[in-house]
Amino acid sequence: MVSPDAIRFVVGIIGNIISLFLFLSPVPTFVQIWKKKSVEQYSAVPYLATLVNCLVWTLYGLPMIHPGSILVVTINGSGIVIECAYIIIFLVFSDKKKRIRVLLIVLVELIFISLLTLLTLTLAHSHRKRSTIVGTICILFNIMMYAAPLAVMKLVITTKSVEFMPFFLSFTSFVNGVTWTTYALIRFDPFITIPNGLGTLFGVAQLILYATYYKSTQRVMAERKNKAVNLSEVVVAEEELKKTGPTQNGLSTLNH
């Protein structure tokens, strides 16, 4: 008979793989930034928010805080490395004003995680107390990060279009939430269950919205494409008219 811990470990490995795909999803954006040598109108806020989220979750999973959570450390530790790479690229191709702002935020995040680690280890003398302190902060950060999907969902409802809510990302987020919720329920951990349970609900809501507005989105995109084609035909016709117009006018004058 397979033990619950073995099942939990396998589920955690699957969660690591899925979360890694989510962490890597902005790569195309940074490829464009690298090619254009400019961050243009892109914001560093999502990557700074993910960085501090990964920092607190890595702290939570450490043996001195919450033993038996090494898979929480591995994925969030990977997230720290990936987000740092994004932020470095952002800094390289930003103007001076943006660069200073991002560096100050990173400094504040590092000071925050250092103080949290120091205070937790010195003032809380049991794993349960340490887990409660850091876990509560983890939940708060996760809830703040849910502002992004809420904004996207509001946009979908307002525009009745899922054009800016990619299906693959919504589906992966849903599967990620289900996986980590399952991981947390096998050996009950409320601090992992609560944020990932909420993530699962948001994932379901996004998939429902996608199913609801998929057909209308396809119709709108088709109409837009037809308008673009018609516009290009008009432009071509006008160009042809400009070329043939003088000749025709000349012939008309001669015939007259």
Give every CB contact of residue 182 below 8 A, 6+ residues apart in sequence.
11
* Interatomic CA distance for residues 184 and 16, integer angstroms: 13
CA-based torsion, 189, 176, 205, 28: positive or negative: positive
Quickly state the pLDDT bin for 109 (edges 50, 70, 90).
Answer: very high
What percentage of the chain carries pLDDT values higher than 90?
Answer: 56
State the pLDDT at residue 70.
94
pLDDT in tens, 145-193: 777 778 788 888 888 888 777 888 889 889 999 999 999 999 899 999 9
pTM confidence score: 0.80
To which residue do tokens 């993530």 refer?
199
47-56 residue pLDDT tens: 999 999 999 9
Q: What is the pLDDT of residue 246?
A: 54
Q: Does residue 210 surpass a pLDDT of 70?
A: yes
Q: Which of 204, 216, 205, 112 is nearest to 160 (CA)?
A: 216
Q: How far apart are CA 58 and CA 77, in angstroms?
A: 6
- The structure tokens 């043939």 sit at 244
Domain ranges of the chain: 4-218
pLDDT of residue 46: 87
Tell me how far CA of residue 28 lies from CA of 3, 25, 31, 252, in angstroms.
Answer: 41, 7, 5, 57
Contacts of 33 (CB under 8 A, 6+ apart): 39, 40, 42, 89, 90, 93
Task: Give strand ranges (E) for the chain.
Answer: none
Position 133 scores a pLDDT of: 95
Report the mean per-residue pLDDT for the chain. 87
